[in-house]
Amino acid sequence: MKANILVIDDEESLTFSFHRFLEEAGHNVITAESYLEALSRMDEMKFDLIIADIVLDDGWGTDILQEVMRRKLNTRVIIMTAYPSAETVKTSFRMKAIDYLIKPVMQKGLLYSVNKALQQMERGEGEGFDP
C-alpha cells in the first residue's frame, strides 16, 4: 500500500533520512520540523500515517495525537523519542498511538512499524478516528 506519511521532528537530519528511506519504500512523504508546521501540513492534505517525535520545539507529539482525535481523522500515529519513559509510553498508547519507537530508529524497525500500522489500517484494525 502506497501511503501518505507525515514525519514530524525538529532534527533535520532525521526528517531527511526518514523521507528518503520511506519514499524509496514507495510512500509519499511530507516532513515538518515543528508542531505548527505539522498542523499546516495536516490542513493541506490527508495522511494515512503520522510519525511524530514526542518533544518538538513548539509542542509535543501527544499534541499531534490530540489534533488527530479532535479532527476525527482516520490516521494512525507512531510516536518516537530519544528519551523514553514509562509515563510517555502510557500517555502515548492511552491517546491511541499505534506504536512507540525509541531513537535511534533503525530502518528495519521503522519499516516494520510503518508496514504494521498500514496493514492494520487496511484491515480496519487499530486506532484511527473515523468521522
Q: Give the chain as a DSSP string.
A: ---EEEEE-S-HHHHHHHHHHHHHTT-EEEEESSHHHHHHHHHHS--SEEEEESEETTEEHHHHHHHHHHHT---EEEEEESS--HHHHHHHHHTT-SEEEESSPPHHHHHHHHHHHHHHHHTT-S-----
**Residue 59: what are its φ and ψ, rounded to 5°?**
175, -160
Residue 130 has what pLDDT? 37
Residue 127 has what pLDDT? 55
- Does residue 10 lie within any of the structural domains? yes
Q: Tens of pLDDT along 97-127?
A: 999 999 999 999 999 999 999 998 888 866 5
Domain of residue 64, residue span: 4-122
Predicted confidence (pLDDT) at residue 131 exceeds the cutoff of 80: no
- Does residue 102 lie within any of the structural domains? yes
Residue 1 has what pLDDT? 79
Q: Tens of pLDDT along 29-76?
A: 999 999 999 999 999 999 999 999 999 999 999 999 999 999 999 999
Residue 123 has what pLDDT? 85
- Does residue 54 lie within any of the structural domains? yes
Task: Report the domain count for the chain.
Answer: 1
Residue 115, C-alpha cell as written in the block: 508496514
- Does residue 48 lie within any of the structural domains? yes
Residue 77 has what pLDDT? 97
- Does residue 118 lie within any of the structural domains? yes
Instruction: Give the global pTM.
Output: 0.93
- Average pLDDT of span 21-36: 97
CB atoms within 10 A of CB 96: 16
Which CATH number do you get for residue 43?
3.40.50.2300
